[in-house]
Every structure is written in C-alpha cells, then in structure tokens.
Amino acid sequence: MNATATNAAATNAASTNAAANGMATGTARPAGAGQPLLRVSNVTVRFGGLTAIDSVSFDVFAGELLGLIGPNGAGKTTMLRSITGVVRPTEGDVSLEGSSLSGLSIDRRVRLGLALSQQLVKPLRNISVIDNVALAAGAGKTVSPLRALLNRSDVMEREQAMVMLERVGIARHADESPAIQPLGVLKRLEMARALAQSPRLLLLDEPLAGLNTKEAHSLADTIADINAQGVTIVLIEHNLGEVMRICKRLVVLDNGRRIAEGDPRAVMNDPAVRTAYLGGDTMADGQQGGQAAASGQPSQPSQPGQPGPSAPATTATVPGAPHA
C-alpha cells in the first residue's frame, strides 16, 4: 500500500472508530439517507452472568444492504434475535420507523414487516417446494369470507409463491420435494419463504454457510438482486469476501460490543477489526494469527450440485490478509 492509500485508510478507519464510539444516535448515516427504518438503541442482552450484547446501537436505512459481522460469539445472532423478538433485551430498545417494538410478539413483528431467513433450513419435507412458500405467503393473512367462498386463497398464494421462487432462482424445483434438494436450493427456499411475507426488512442469518465458493458467490448475487429490487436487508455472514462485495455498509461486533461501522473497505482496515478477527496480530508484518489462521479458507468446496459440509464455526478470513 502506498503512503496516500495508507493515509486514506487510516483516516477512514478513524472515522469508523469515531462512528462506533461517539455519535449521538450511535450510528453512521449513509449519504442521502432519511430516517432509519430500524433503530437499535443501546441494546444490552445478558444471559445470567454473560453479557452477550453490550449497549450496542446502529441504524438500518430503507433500501440498504447492511452487513452485520464479527468473530464467533460476537453477539450477531443474539442481536438478530433481539430484533425479531426471540430474545428480550435486558436494556435498550429496537424500533421500526420510530415505533418501539418492545413487548411485541414475534408474530406481530412479522406482520409489521420483519422477516428472518434462518441459518438452519427446515422446510416441511412432505409438501412440495412451492407449497412451502405458499404456506409462508398465507401465514398471518386474514382470509376474507368472499375470498374463502371463492376458494381463491390457495391459487393466489401459489401464484405469489411462484414469483418468489423465480426471484431466488429455483422455480424449476417448484413441484419437487424439499427432501431431494441440495443445500444450495434449500437456502434459496428459505429465502423465498421469508420474501413471501412481503418484508420491509429481511434479516439473513449466515445464508452462505456450508456452500462452496461458486454456490456462495451465486447466492450472494441473488441477495444483491433482491436488495436492488427494493428489499432492505441485514446480512449476518462469515464469508467476508462476499460481504465486502455486496454490502455498502458494515457494522462490526466483537465480544458483544460494536467496534466499527461504515464503509466496508474502511472497516476492514480498522485496526480494532483486524485485531478482533486475527487475534491481535498486525497485518504489517505479514503474520496471520488467531481465529483466521486457525480456520484457514472460508469453506471447503463441495461437489457440484451437492451440499457442502457445514461451515466450521470459525470460517472468516479478512480480505487482503495473507492466507495461511
């Protein structure tokens, strides 16, 4: 890196630190952004004596594809669960378009527009791929007496489901059983189920885990396409190469704390982020230590068309870092 680039990186890194540490709302705002769609304000989650999240704040703006990253145990999934209502924050608040979600059930949050695509894919295996999506499309809807009389609900939901399957690129598997699908298709099915709920905010929990390089790249493209069609997305992911490629803004957690936020490249040059991922080694001396060195490459490639092995718990490598 030349001196100019080094200085620019240092300035950017400093700004991400400033964003992480000092701003009144606790979050960095992308240029031109209006009011946040989702606001996480000073959320703390304790499990007994363990503080899984420690006073974390950040905003998600409409239309964004925000990456929420951090090493294992950083608190990412707990944060996601605090947003969806699975976990109740010990302190702090989560609000959607200015209205607190505190005390609202998971179902109510879904009806308000929060949809979660889970890391562990569990479709109903005794019904077809399309019916799995149609079921999600119908969930939570009130069927009008007239519509019920005309028996239109199933038809409409199947039509809607087919649109979702096309969006995620698995329409050709619509009438097949989920039981025979490789992991790559099941991940897309899980995403179609979440999209069928017409979310205002789609939360993706490690969608690329277990996929080989090509599958992960392709699914990341699909996620970027869905975002480009107007769906706001929060992406939790250990595959930092793909995160860097498709996200415009990152929030980094480590040990329950927000340690950086902002432009992906600046965030990745932030010494605190490097230390979190690399266990304290600096990159300047060409050494790679800690988690990243222990984990090696992101995930082992699988056979074409076959599910890859489950990604090991520590799968992250820092882009730009030398490989072990």
C-beta closer to ligand ATP: residue 77 or 269: 77
C-beta closer to ligand ATP: residue 70 or 307: 70
Least Å distance, CB 257 to ligand ATP, is 11
**Comparing C-alpha atoms, which of 193, 230, 315 is closest to residue 185?**
193
Least Å distance, CB 234 to ligand ATP, is 13
C-beta closer to ligand ATP: residue 43 or 231: 43
- Stretch 22-61: interaction string toward ligand ATP, x if CB under 6 A: -------------------------x--x-x---------
- 120 binds ligand ATP, rule: CB under 6 A: no
Neighbours of 277 (CB within 10 A): 26
Cα R_g (the chain), whole angstroms: 20
Binding residues for ligand ATP restricted to 272-301, rule: CB under 6 A = none
Least Å distance, CB 203 to ligand ATP, is 12
Strand order in the sheet with 91-96: 50-61, 36-47, 91-96, 99-100
Least Å distance, CB 275 to ligand ATP, is 16
Q: Determine the Cα–Cα distance for residues 136 and 202; give it in Å rounded to an integer.
A: 14
Least Å distance, CB 136 to ligand ATP, is 24
Binding residues for ligand ATP restricted to 61-80, rule: CB under 6 A = 70, 72-78
Least Å distance, CB 5 to ligand ATP, is 30
Cβ(67)–Cβ(243) below 8 Å? yes
Least Å distance, CB 259 to ligand ATP, is 12
Q: Determine the Cα–Cα distance for residues 96 and 99; give it in Å rounded to an integer.
A: 5
C-beta closer to ligand ATP: residue 35 or 47: 47
Least Å distance, CB 72 to ligand ATP, is 4
Least Å distance, CB 322 to ligand ATP, is 23
C-beta closer to ligand ATP: residue 131 or 237: 237
C-beta closer to ligand ATP: residue 72 or 100: 72
C-beta closer to ligand ATP: residue 206 or 281: 206
- Contact set with ligand ATP (CB under 6 A): 47, 50, 52, 70, 72-78, 313
